[in-house]
Chains A and B, each alone.
Chain A
Amino acid sequence: MAVLFYFFSLLAVLAGFVVVSTRNPITSAVALVACFFGLAADYVLLDAHFVAVIQILVYAGAIMVLFIFVIMLLNLRGDGAPILDLSRRALFGVATAGLIGVGLVAGLESARRNFETTVPKDFGTIEHVGKALFASSSPWLLPFEVVSVLLTVAVIGAVVLAKREI
């Protein structure tokens, strides 16, 4: 199990590096899909079955198709920028990101403990997540409805923005 976790985490991290370092947006998008698949495998290993499924369906399926559709619609090629340019911006960006990464990992001292072996048997299943979301005493009912409004607004906004004439 541990080996599988490290394998898929390595896949996700390497794919993440490819996403930010490649010239071609299509390569970037495909690497991001690989990253999402690696993360979905990690979710399965962490007993988050429902989240793993919607990671594949929503992220790798819907959102990335939208990205690739737009890249192809705009017929974008690589921007010709060198992968490793030593401009001031690149150095500043990488230094800031490195600082954030080191800071985050350094703050994890208290998390150095192994997982307890047993989770409840139905943890992370659709039934469990569904009950947490929709039980009549759930605090997530209102947020869920608000998210539906947000998605409606996003759909209308996207159409209004991208359509030539309404």
Chain B
Amino acid sequence: MDQVGLFPVLAVSAVLFATGVAGVLTRRNALIVFMSVELMLNAVNLSFVGFARDFAARGVQNAIDGHVFTVFVMAVAAAEAAVGLALVILLFRNRVTVDLDELDRLKG
């Protein structure tokens, strides 16, 4: 991996994050919006792992904390997915749609 360097890792992470942003902003299907959020979380995880690799090779103490934080991000993503999907099911039961544009009841 020494020929790769930090830049390509972070660039891939940035592209994945931007893709996730595009998905959240353009899609109307609640489930696809959720998946785009997962994509963004994974992009951040890739950054953490890349920085951990870089810092470890340069002898920084506690470089492994990047991996630990990635584990925490995954735990939070799991919790978010569970509650979010429960909300989607509840929504579908009440409105028979997962189209976010039709959820305008709070509009004055």
Contact = CB atoms under 8 A, between A and B. Distances in A.
B86 interface: yes
Given A19-B23, A54-B74, A47 B88 contact: no
28 contacts: A1-B3, A16-B20, A17-B19, A25-B29, A32-B39, A36-B42, A45-B1, A51-B49, A54-B74, A76-B31, A79-B99, A93-B21, A93-B26, A94-B26, A96-B25, A101-B17, A101-B18, A111-B7, A112-B6, A124-B67, A129-B71, A150-B75, A150-B79, A151-B79, A154-B78, A154-B82, A161-B86, A161-B90
Interface residues of B, number: 74
B85 A100 contact: no
Contacts of A120: 56
A66 B82 CA distance: 8
A151 B18 CA distance: 28
Nearest to A10: B12
B90 A67 contact: no
Interface of B is mostly: helix
A132 B72 contact: no
Closest 6 CB pairs of A and B: A101-B18, A93-B25, A20-B23, A116-B57, A154-B79, A97-B22
For chain A, the bracket of interface size reads 35 or more
Interface of A: 1-2, 5-6, 9, 12-13, 16-17, 19-20, 25, 28-29, 32, 35-36, 39, 42-43, 45-48, 50-51, 54-55, 58-59, 62-63, 66-67, 70-71, 73-74, 76, 79, 81, 89-90, 92-94, 96-98, 100-101, 104-105, 108, 111-120, 123-124, 128-129, 132-133, 140, 143, 147, 150-151, 153-155, 157-159, 161-162
